[in-house]
Structure 1
């Protein structure tokens, strides 16, 4: 449908928006954003002292109330803390709590009389010039009267009032209540770094970057969508998590039909759709948005106006070309590489402002008309010959598309014809080129994208090129051929993919899984069509090639003794009488070197055995498939060694663990030819052997006499031979070390400070670093 495009009067839009506000659904967003919070530290702290009435102090603790100095002189002090409230300007404060801790108390028998007041500082603060004290804060909330690590005052109303008055800072005074201010017993000291924890909300910003689909509302919008999608960017100083918006939609000529919906989004972008059945063809509609965080709302945005157009252009475009005639047949017009013009016309229909087109060798694109209902011309250079077409539709401002116009034409052939032979490895063959381009003077060709070669066009329009291909990893080749005329204009290109018969022999091995040192037989049999084969070239992996003459049956056998483990590719190629090599035939085999097997009856792998300092025997045995002459081993404590294999291939070694827990031994065998096997591993748990712990205060059978505040004696008897010291700790505290005496025991005492279970951890160690493992025993301490 043709839209008028007339601008909407500003007064009318304003009326629509105001009218919408009158109809707005009351309240804010359904889900509230979590309040923001700020943890503020003082920007300034100072203390006042009655003994120095004209000087403030900024060192030491924050003293409040009275104290006496070393000379016995009486002092009274107050402490002042200033906080920066700039971050809270323009916000709504919900809660504010000041927390601090006491660093000292003059007399714990006296109840706490600390007070916190807001002040009105007018200049320098000293004892002589104290600011007026305004409001006392509720609190403090605290437990016992002695030095408390957690005092708190409710400053909600004080901070709210300061922010409401536009104040950018707040100064608080900590003091002792007036009735007790002069009593030294009530004096206390506070931390100079209290914390003010404030929860608040900042008003959200008005949405920006309103869009309809992918179009910005900064430009006139015409849409063909019956339910357009809209979006806007929302912001909030407190972040966008939990942020929502409200969107309003209405017909421009009927603002009383305004409808509002809440909208949410992700990453600061909110979106929604016009209400179903609201948008109608030929009318104008508007939407606006505001941001809501559950506590406050922004201003509404200016309206974004769209014009609805659901009616597509009625007629297909006209298409003409001066080079490529419509519906032409062979031999066609132009040719590959010859450009031609195509003109699209809207035939005066003012709805048509652009054309969408696509075709073989053209791709798809959109081109604007020179004016509504006008035309546009494109240039197409064909890349293929034969029958092709271009499809065109007219497009209006809303994106509605007209019926399709298909323009069919025939592109003449200019690429040369190519006659290909069958290529065999090592046999020369000719390729014949025939020109189709008018006035062609030379053929140009490339093989496998190599350097271009030239050959002249003969009197009969043909030329030949001879090629010989030898065995290579790739038996596929690509030929590209084109011609040029006397002016140097290039024809279309002829591509030919072809294969060279490689005559690869059939290759197989007699075994696929071998142990290092074993032999494998590789057999090569001839390709049934190749004649004159007199030998085969064999290669295993990247080892040197070996030439083997053919046998009476035309095949060859190659015996190879394996020396390395891993995957091995083996291949073979045949040689004819001219020593021309065929392509490779392939097979593979795998070589392993199985590792030794480890066992121990002293330290079986399935259960805890032995202990630190207890030697054990470990037996190494070879894999049945691979005898070894020597074993190289390493234990988990770093001990390494090597030992020759016995007559039966087995050998045993002794090893003593120095710690409990899981230990391991890793063993590699070495064959008589010096080949290393894979590594065999064996792990096993070593049993812990902590000292035995007794106490005279806790005899077997009782009674127990351990009491709070009384020393408890302990006797630790190591179970690991040669232990020279015992390590112990009480209630998981710091470790203590005591020597083992001549009687084989270590003695220590511990004085408990509270009743309940007393857990003692104890272990021993020897001079060579052997550790017993830790044992635990619990003793009950009576009051």
Structure 2
């Protein structure tokens, strides 16, 4: 709300009746402003001429100056910014600059005239209404002589006028008496105290769906409607709603006004549950209500219509696919898309389907839709739900099927590789046809694309910074299809020792209880000075190495499975990845 200091209107006795009328009118001002207008004047001595004053003041009434003169002054104000406004108060005031005879009382009148484009004494615009006034402090001259212009401005706005013209003149019985003549500054002021109605609501929605030319289907219970009401004065505003069934427009219900908030006001109404019936078409409009003057209501919005639909489809759709039939046998490949047909089987309530990839419309209510789906694993499922106009979901359909694995082959040898040394990775396409490139990510360093050869294979070299690193590999075809992903770890041998025994070979029966056997540890890791081993997860035992080799002797006391775990060590205390040797003692 804008507030501008305003002096009280000083009106004479002749204005009492009109002032009483103003008192009875509702005060609804939310904005105050002042306009000013420079005027033109006429002169009886030049009856066909319009005078545009370039000086600081204009004459009103009669005066003597090289002859006899009599004048009227005209001032026009643009009302277009105030269209639709309700005027609470309006004062027009002038500043007097001279009086021919201060002994004579102030007799200046102000009238509303027809539009004055180029007035002359002989072609004067018709004077329609005399304004109450003048009001001014006692004294010869005043810098603020006021007339009440509220009724005049209100009438002009009500008539749709784009402007209003005021004339300053003397009464008929004094217009040719020089003793009453005066001069005023050539800038008439018009002070307005007004309130404009709220604008037509916008952004109308039913639930979360915008209103349009067709009815909005909504599953909500209660139905929720919203809109945004603005006010050109930015004052607090409320909203009210009128709703009716389309087939019974006389059965109207009014809701609101709701609680006012500062514009723009986001209004929300929940409609009475007993008023809304499923399947029936309703229309509603919203209007803004000025909170300063509850009688000032803005224009109604365009009608918005809706249909409540709280019943979901009752049956799930039928899914078929020639690319991936659900016959128990694998088809296609993981990563290669196939077409799936969804059929609502004539259920007119169904207009589309929800899948794991989003929503797809049916070709008609109760009709079919064809979608593309890419299996992500060998045993996959395509899931779909029927959807009606109100976005209600019906029972889902689970269509399970099998796809051939498309995981690439990955080979590498890291038995004798240490951190900081290169590792060769070999990629082959596996069962995936048409692989032209691979996308791999080693050590989570980011995806790298490498082309495949004519046979679909590719070889890359990487250098691990640590004894282990993650590795993912996918093949990609010319069509952009991506295979099933190989996902694993590359764990470096890091000088992992080997273990050999002629009496107790790995993973085979040998020797016997009480039969001694030699075990030889060998490591190619540079700088190996010894080994640390454990038998059946027992106490760690160190042994010195010579040229990367050491031999120990063990005599088993029990038959069955046993194991030796060996780690090579360096003089700096570093150790290799352990090696486990499992052997079987004959019983």
> TM bucket by the smaller chain?
0.5 to 0.7
Summarize the alignment of residues 105-144 of structure 1 with structure 2, pairs less than 5 Å apart. 105=99, 111-119=105-113, 125-127=119-121, 134-144=128-138
Q: Aligned residue for 2:143?
A: 149
Question: 1:438, 1:161 → 2: CA distance?
Answer: 85
Q: 1:426 to 1:322 in 2, by over 3 A?
A: same
Which of the residues 337, 340, 365 maps onto 2:358? 365
Q: Is the 8 A contact 1:416 1:483 kept in 2?
A: no
Question: 1:54, 1:488 → 2: CA distance?
Answer: 89
Q: Secondary structure at the match of 2:342?
A: strand
Are 1:374 and 2:367 matched, yes or no? yes
Q: Aligned residue for 1:452?
A: 450
Which of the residues 418, 421, 431 maps onto 1:427? 421
Q: Is the 8 A contact 2:241 2:254 kept in 1?
A: yes
Alpha-carbon shift at residue 261 of structure 1 (Å): 0.8
Q: Is the 8 A contact 2:200 2:229 kept in 1?
A: yes
Does 1 or 2 have the higher relative contact order (CA < 8 Å, sep 6+)?
Answer: 2
Question: 1:153, 1:501 → 2: CA distance?
Answer: 104
Q: Is the 8 A contact 1:118 1:137 kept in 2?
A: yes
Which of the residues 156, 169, 174 maps onto 1:175? 169
Question: 2:408, 2:115 → 1: CA distance?
Answer: 99
Which of the residues 263, 271, 295 maps onto 1:274? 271
Q: Is the 8 A contact 1:415 1:437 kept in 2?
A: yes
Question: 2:71, 2:308 → 1: CA distance?
Answer: 76
Q: Is the 8 A contact 2:214 2:305 kept in 1?
A: no
Question: 2:63, 2:163 → 1: CA distance?
Answer: 30
Alpha-carbon shift at residue 154 of structure 1 (Å): 0.8
Q: Aligned residue for 1:321?
A: 321
Q: Is the 8 A contact 1:314 1:403 kept in 2?
A: yes
Q: Aligned residue for 1:62?
A: 58
Alpha-carbon shift at residue 287 of structure 1 (Å): 2.9
Alpha-carbon shift at residue 192 of structure 1 (Å): 0.9
Are 1:389 and 2:386 matched, yes or no? no
Q: Is the 8 A contact 1:100 1:195 kept in 2?
A: yes
Question: 2:49, 2:137 → 1: CA distance?
Answer: 34
Q: 1:396 to 1:194 in 2, by over 3 A?
A: same
Are 1:226 and 2:221 matched, yes or no? yes
Question: 2:117, 2:315 → 1: CA distance?
Answer: 84
Summarize the alignment of residues 66-77 of structure 1 with structure 2, pairs less than 5 Å apart. 66-69=62-65, 75-77=69-71
Q: Is the 8 A contact 1:480 1:496 kept in 2?
A: no
Q: Secondary structure at the match of 1:158?
A: helix
Q: Secondary structure at the match of 1:248?
A: strand
Q: Aligned residue for 1:692?
A: none
Q: Aligned residue for 2:92?
A: 98
After superposition, what is the alpha-carbon deviation per residue over 1:576-618, rounded to whole angstroms, capped at 9, x for unaligned? xxxxxxxxxxxxxxxxxxxxxxxxxxxxxxxxxxxxxxxxxxx
Q: Is the 8 A contact 1:206 1:299 kept in 2?
A: yes
Q: Secondary structure at the match of 2:334?
A: coil
Q: Is the 8 A contact 1:313 1:401 kept in 2?
A: yes
Q: Secondary structure at the match of 1:397?
A: coil
Q: 1:531 to 1:112 in 2, by over 3 A?
A: farther
Q: Aligned residue for 2:42?
A: 48
Q: Secondary structure at the match of 2:153?
A: helix
Q: 1:490 to 1:217 in 2, by over 3 A?
A: closer
Q: Is the 8 A contact 2:439 2:448 kept in 1?
A: no
Q: Aligned residue for 1:261?
A: 255
Q: Aligned residue for 2:153?
A: 159
Question: 1:441, 1:205 → 2: CA distance?
Answer: 63
After superposition, what is the alpha-carbon deviation per residue over 1:225-275, rounded to whole angstroms, capped at 9, x for unaligned? 222222456677x46754444312345566665321125686476442321
Q: Secondary structure at the match of 1:275?
A: coil
Q: Secondary structure at the match of 1:157?
A: helix
Are 1:404 and 2:401 matched, yes or no? no
CA RMSD of aligned residues (A): 4.7
Q: Is the 8 A contact 1:33 1:241 kept in 2?
A: no
Q: Is the 8 A contact 1:249 1:275 kept in 2?
A: no
Alpha-carbon shift at residue 219 of structure 1 (Å): 1.0
Summarize the alignment of residues 533-548 of structure 1 with structure 2, pairs less than 5 Å apart. none
Q: 1:346 to 1:231 in 2, by over 3 A?
A: same
Question: 2:235, 2:160 → 1: CA distance?
Answer: 28
Aligned length: 458
Unaligned runs of 5+ in 1: 1-30, 359-363, 503-529, 533-783
Q: Secondary structure at the match of 1:452?
A: strand
Q: Secondary structure at the match of 2:277?
A: coil
Q: Is the 8 A contact 1:115 1:176 kept in 2?
A: yes
Q: Secondary structure at the match of 2:42?
A: strand
Alpha-carbon shift at residue 158 of structure 1 (Å): 3.1
Q: Aligned residue for 1:311?
A: 311
Q: Is the 8 A contact 1:446 1:453 kept in 2?
A: no
Summarize the alignment of residues 608-619 of structure 1 with structure 2, pairs less than 5 Å apart. none
Summarize the alignment of residues 766-777 of structure 1 with structure 2, pairs less than 5 Å apart. none
Q: 1:408 to 1:296 in 2, by over 3 A?
A: same
Question: 2:195, 2:437 → 1: CA distance?
Answer: 80
Alpha-carbon shift at residue 224 of structure 1 (Å): 2.2
Q: Which moved more, 1:306-315 or 1:241-250?
A: 241-250
Q: Secondary structure at the match of 2:190?
A: strand
Are 1:334 and 2:335 matched, yes or no? no
Q: Secondary structure at the match of 2:370?
A: strand
Alpha-carbon shift at residue 409 of structure 1 (Å): 3.0
Which of the residues 348, 351, 354 maps onto 1:353? 351
Question: 1:481, 1:121 → 2: CA distance?
Answer: 84
* TM value normalised by structure 2: 0.63
Summarize the alignment of residues 380-779 of structure 1 with structure 2, pairs less than 5 Å apart. 380-382=373-375, 384-419=376-411, 421=414, 424-433=418-427, 435-437=429-431, 444=438, 449-450=447-448, 452-454=450-452, 466-468=461-463, 480=473, 482=475, 491-494=483-486
Q: Is the 8 A contact 1:449 1:478 kept in 2?
A: no
Alpha-carbon shift at residue 194 of structure 1 (Å): 0.8
Q: Is the 8 A contact 2:238 2:265 kept in 1?
A: no
* TM value normalised by structure 1: 0.49
After superposition, what is the alpha-carbon deviation per residue over 1:690-724, rounded to whole angstroms, capped at 9, x for unaligned? xxxxxxxxxxxxxxxxxxxxxxxxxxxxxxxxxxx
Q: Secondary structure at the match of 2:39?
A: strand
Q: Secondary structure at the match of 1:334?
A: strand
Question: 1:123, 1:416 → 2: CA distance?
Answer: 90
Q: 1:365 to 1:66 in 2, by over 3 A?
A: same
After superposition, what is the alpha-carbon deviation per residue over 1:85-115, rounded to whole angstroms, capped at 9, x for unaligned? 5566666544321122223445666654433
